[in-house]
Amino acid sequence: MSKRSSGLIRGAGLGAAMALIAAGCVTTPLPNEQLAVAKSSVQRAEQAGAPELAPVEMAAARDKLARAERAAADHAAGPATQLAEQANADAQLAEASAQEKRSRKAAMEADANLQALRQESLRSTQPN
């Protein structure tokens, strides 16, 4: 191998190493927007009664949000983004579950009231 080709190979290797170092310095931005959306979803779920009506889903949302915040604090943008999106989905599920359970309870109460009215109506129309 000639001195010239050896120098070219060495230069190419040095250039590749510098490119890899430069690529490693490029960071993915932290998912501030995803974290804010997840926090908002968790708050909405809490206000919808999810801690009492959907405790499993609510716990999952809170846990993933906390883990996302820790990952963001550690500048781990990829895991932070993924966890924030999962926390958002879990919080939305918790909110929807809480609303569904409240609706079901209200429907059962309405049915019971309607049944009571029917029985009262039958009693009042029967001869004494």
> For 16-72, how does the pLDDT look when each residue is reduced to its tens digit (9 = 90+)?
555 555 555 456 788 999 999 999 999 999 999 999 999 999 999 999 999 999 999
User: Is 20 in the same domain as 70?
Assistant: no
Same domain, 76 and 104: yes
> Do residue 23 and residue 43 come from a single domain?
no
Domain enclosing residue 37, as ranges: 31-125
Task: Please tell me the predicted confidence (pLDDT) of residue 81.
Answer: 97
58 and 8 both lie in a single domain: no
38 and 4 share one domain: no
Express as a percent the part of the chain with pLDDT over 70. Answer: 77
Q: At 95, is the pLDDT very low, low, confident or very high (cuts 50, 70, 90)?
A: very high
- Residue 78: band (very low, low, confident or very high) from pLDDT cuts 50, 70, 90: very high
Question: 35 and 21 share a domain?
Answer: no
- Does 127 score more than 90 pLDDT? no
Do 56 and 115 belong together in one domain? yes
Are the C-beta atoms of residues 36 and 80 closer than 8 Å to each other? no
**At 114, which helix (H) or strand (E)?**
helix 77-125
**How many structural domains are present in the chain?**
2
Q: What percent of the chain has pLDDT over 90?
A: 66
23 and 35 fall within a common domain: no
Q: Are residues 41 and 104 in the same domain?
A: yes
Residue 36 and residue 4 share a domain: no
Q: Give the pLDDT confidence score for residue 123 in this predicted structure.
A: 85
Q: Is 78 exposed, middle or buried (0-12, 13-18, 19+ CB in 10 A)?
A: exposed
Give me the mean pLDDT over the 7-14 stretch. Answer: 55
Q: Are residues 8 and 48 in the same domain?
A: no
What pLDDT was estimated at residue 60?
98
Q: Are residues 61 and 16 in the same domain?
A: no
